[in-house]
Amino acid sequence: MVIVMRADAPVKEIEKIKERLEAGNHKVSVIEGTDYCVLGIIGDTTEIDTNEIEANEYVEKVMKVQQSYKLANRMFHRDNSVIRVGDRTIGGQDLAVIAGPCSVESEDQILELAKRVKECGAGFLRGGAFKPRTSPYSFQGMKLEGLELLKLAREETGLLIVTEIMSADMIDKFVEDVDVIQVGARNMQNYELLKELGRTTKPILLKRGLSATIEELLMSAEYIMSEGNGNVILCERGIRTFETYTRNTLDISAVLAIKKLSHLPVIVDPSHAAGLWWMVEALAKASVAVGADGIMIEVHNDPANAKCDGQQSIKPERFRALMEDITAMAGSLRRII
């Protein structure tokens, strides 16, 4: 349920309604914008007398929220959320660019790539220290050593770290060392992990599951937000369909659908969507064109010998050209990189 207050509603009236609802064991979130105030009620609202609430002269209207996700719902939060990460933001007018290798392979590799993507204009460094792989015999990442190398790259370049967490027992370490904690597609519905991450304040990059619907993605975001962490960034990374030419099928319409349904920022990972390096640039531009709040690009200096996903990684030279094109697009779309 959502209670929309009048713009001139006194604080004491808002608090009075909030206290009354909380006395009935309901969780109430107060969301304030520049010219509005909304009270979002979480829990069983069947016993709430809406007529009594609407009788208050400072209540504009009361609306039922049909969807199961509440906190992620745009009805709860009209304005687009802007997630602050260090000295940067994701969402709003800013267009975030996250770039780097699929996995950290060595000190020389990650430092060189960090410097090159920084020179091209990226603000975030991606790189897997812990790698979930389909085969148990594939390269699983450098783990804690890889995390230390990411920190070293951050010290050298100032780029903010985005890397994937695999289990809840690593949360304290990630909170201490990582700027944006990524939840991979395979863990999108690992609800116990999501709840634990919800008890932190770290920005969480939540990737859409291999065959997840948009509603299921938003429900996973709800798990994080319901524990108190509203710093959630959603990522469209392609979904599994009957098509086998590409690694996945990029659901470009998901960006538009999510933005209609939710206030959370949405970024796109065209590298994992296509699985083919020569498609990445065009899909990245398409993502920016439909209003994505950022892109996540795999960049490798030697894709042919990469330990992970070399076939979908572009070289730094192509990334530079892509950034030039996207920078020009961003200006025409009133976005800032």
Is the pLDDT at 32 greater than 70? The verdict is yes
Sign of torsion, CA 251 252 257 259? positive
Q: What's the CA gap between 61 and 56, in Å, rounded?
A: 10
Task: Enter the tokens of residue 204.
Answer: 């969480």
DSSP state at residue 132? -
The values of phi and psi at residue 209, to 5°, are -65, 165
Mean pLDDT of 272-277: 96
Q: What is the percent of the chain with per-residue pLDDT over 70, rounded to a whole number?
A: 99
Kindly calculate the radius of gyration of the chain based on its CA atoms and give it in whole angstroms: 21
Instruction: Kindly write down the DSSP assignment for every residue of 36-68, as one continuous string.
Output: -EEEEEES--TT--HHHHHTSTTEEEEE---SS
CB neighbours of residue 46 within 10 Å? 6
Is the pLDDT at 201 greater than 70? The verdict is yes
DSSP state at residue 249? B
Q: What's the CA gap between 67 and 178, in Å, rounded?
A: 33
Q: What's the CA gap between 208 and 186, in Å, rounded?
A: 9
CB neighbours of residue 7 within 10 Å? 12
Q: Between β-strands 204-207 and 96-100, what pairing exists: parallel, antiparallel or unpaired?
A: unpaired
Confidence (pLDDT) at 137: 62
* 263-273 tens-digit pLDDT: 999 999 999 99
Q: pLDDT grade, residue 217 (50/70/90)?
A: very high
Give the residue, 298 or 66, on which the prediction is more confident: 298
C-alpha angle with apex 331: 235 to 85, nearest 5 degrees?
Answer: 40
Q: Could you give the 3-state DSSP secondary structure of residue 5?
A: strand
End-to-end CA distance of the chain: 37
pTM of the predicted model as reported, rounded to 2 decimal places: 0.89
Q: What's the CA gap between 155 and 178, in Å, rounded?
A: 12
Confidence (pLDDT) at 176: 96
* 104-154 tens-digit pLDDT: 999 999 999 999 999 999 999 999 998 776 777 677 778 899 999 999 999
Q: What's the CA gap between 47 and 49, in Å, rounded?
A: 6
* 163-175 tens-digit pLDDT: 999 999 999 999 9
Is the pLDDT at 160 greater than 90? The verdict is yes
Confidence (pLDDT) at 20: 86
* 33-80 tens-digit pLDDT: 777 788 888 877 777 888 888 888 888 888 887 788 889 999 888 889
Give the residue, 210 or 308, on which the prediction is more confident: 210
DSSP state at residue 81? P
Burial class (CB in 10 A: 0-12, 13-18, 19+), 33: exposed
Q: Which residue has the tokens 């783990």?
A: 143
Identify which of 118, 115, 139 has the alpha carbon closest to the alpha carbon of residue 129. 139
Which domains can be identified in the chain, with CATH numbers? Answer: 2-63 (3.30.70.1140), 83-332 (3.20.20.70)
Task: Give the helix/strand (H/E) hosting 187.
Answer: none
The values of phi and psi at residue 23, to 5°, are -65, -25
Confidence (pLDDT) at 63: 82
